[in-house]
Structure formats: C-alpha cells, structure tokens
Amino acid sequence: MTIDWDTLGFDYIKTPFRYISTWKDGQWDEGKLTEDNTLHIHEGSAALHYGQQCFEGLKAYRCKDGSINLFRVDENSKRMNRSAKRLMMAEVPEDKFIRAVEDVVKANEAFVPPYGSGGTLYIRPLLIGVGEGIGVHPAPEYLFTVFCMPVGAYFKGGLTPTNFIFSDYDRAAPQGTGAIKVGGNYAASLLPGEEARKKYFSDCIYLDPATHTKIEEVGSANFFGITKDDRFITPLSPSILPSITKYSLLYLAEHNLGMEAVEEDVYIDSLDQFKEAGACGTAAVISPIGGIQTYDDFHVFYSETQVGPITQKLYDELTGIQFGDIAAPDGWIRNIQI
C-alpha cells in the first residue's frame, strides 16, 4: 500500500496485523497477532446487548532518529482497567496490555508516518464481553484486541481555534459512567454534537448533569482555561473522563511553564476569568477554543482566528516530548528501536 502522508485524515485504514486475546475460565490466553480484521463473536455477546465494552486510544510517534515513541501507555492500561472494573469485566494485566501495543506497533512499523509529517500511528485497544448469554449479567468470556492505523496531523495548517455551544443534553449521569471510557458515553453525544454542527459550531459543551451550572467536557475532550493571572484550570468532577493529555498538560503547565495548575469547578457564569481556553485529548492534543455560545451570550477568549501564546506553548511542549525532541518526565516515554 502506498500512502500519501500529507493527505491522511482520521479514518480507518487496514494495517497488516492486530493483536487478539481471549479470557475464558478465569484466565487470559497467550494472545497472538493476526491478519484478520473481523471479530467473530456470539450473537448473545453482552457487548452487543448490554454495552459491556470499553476501549482506549493512544498514538505511536516517529522520532527524528527513526525510532518510535509510545506516550504514557501505562496510563492507558490503568484507565482501561478502571473501565473494566466499573463494568465487571475481566481486567487486562498491564504487562499484557503494553506488550500487545508494542507488538502491534512493531508488526505495523511501515505504517508509522515519518518524522516531520505531523502524522502518527493511532492505536485502539478494545475490550468486549462475548460468549453465550442473553440475561443481564457479566459475560462468560472477554475479548481483548489492539489494532492501529496511520492518521494525519489534526490541524493541517497549524492550530486553529473553533467555536462551541452549550448543550442541554447530558453525556453521562451523576455517579454513572462518565469517568470511564465506554462506547455508550460517545453514542449519547452523537445527537447533541450533530445539532451543534447544524448551528455551525464545532461541537457542544456538556455541563455537569446535576446542576447544569459547570463545564464538564467539550465534545469528547476535556476543557481547560488560562486565567488572566496565568493559572491553568481544568474542571473537577466525578463524571469527567480523566484525560491522559489533560493530566500531562497540568504537569507541564506547573513544572515547565511555572504556572499554578489546578482542577476545580468551572462555572458557566465565570468564563470572563479566562484569557485563553481549549479542549484537549489524544486526537488533537489541543483544540483551541475561539468562543463559546452560552444561553444568552457569545464569549470570545483570546481570538476566534489566532491561538493564544500559552496554549501554543503547551502544545509545543507536549508534542515535542511525544516526538522525542524535548526531554520527557521520567516514565512518560517507551521508546521502540526498529
């Protein structure tokens, strides 16, 4: 397959190998690489009927010397196991998770975009409940798979601010599954996201499900704001997915930029405290927010067309670490020599 690295988007591309392993009778099998990209599961699988499934998303980055970096893969493993525990699924041992990711990256090394292209290898670990069943109870078996595909730079012409609008919909219930990475949370976001795009916004902003007074998530990403006195603030709530990117930015804001970095409530009537704002996650790293449409006002942060200087610095710091150009904090990078 010949790939034009400059035109890659964020779409499925079949790569040669993926990893698959099955949990049955209380234990995981050894697992293996396979060329089959179709999952063969029982029609009564709990994943299909009762949503017993969770997933992760991470990337592999080509470095200048040709090696490949994995960014905080251990945190993806821990988060998947928190999701599994919440849904009463078999947990995947961390060493098995990391080995599976590394094996898939090595087997598909030719599909890791070259250094300097802005592209990455997107990796999707998936855990689903399978096997015979129809009642509402945990599945008798579980399937763990990891596949990957090359994806292009999220912003082709550099970081670009976009606008968002508050939603009256909830992405998750109080004390529900908002803090874990399960498909149901994303399915619930499809309709409000589409309604936001029909109004010419990039996506919607979800408020806390209990009071609808505080910002929780921006589409499928976490929110952050830079205050006028240079504090990095991101919302604190038990129904927010704990973004690995967000916690990395919290660390970098404090340790590399010397800012106060905190998680705390972000009330919708206090947006004027922020001079910059953004959404953060694996796909884009940072999506700068130009403005937010509230119920009765359109609030602009730094600019609707230009990226704020602190947001740009955070983006440069984090991507520099991911691609191996800036020294990483201990334990953040696993380097694969090819």
User: Which residues does the annotation mark as catalytic?
Assistant: 181
> Residue 129: is it exposed, middle or buried by C-beta count within 10 angstroms (0-12/13-18/19+)?
buried
Q: Are 285 and 311 in contact (CB under 8 A)?
A: no
- Nearest-10 Cα torsion for 22, 23, 28, 32: 0
Strand bridging mode 231-234 / 260-263: parallel
Question: CB neighbours (10 Å) of residue 199?
Answer: 10
How buried is 223 (Cβ within 10 angstroms: 0-12 exposed, 13-18 middle, 19+ buried)? buried
- Asked if 227 and 274 touch (Cβ cutoff 8 Å), the reply is yes
Q: How many residues does the chain have?
A: 338
Angle between helix 309-322 and helix 244-255 axes, rounded to 10 deg? 110
Instruction: Count how many Cα atoms sit within 13 Å of the Cα of residue 46 in the half-sphere of its side chain.
Output: 22
Is residue 131 within 8 Å of 140, Cβ to Cβ?
A: yes
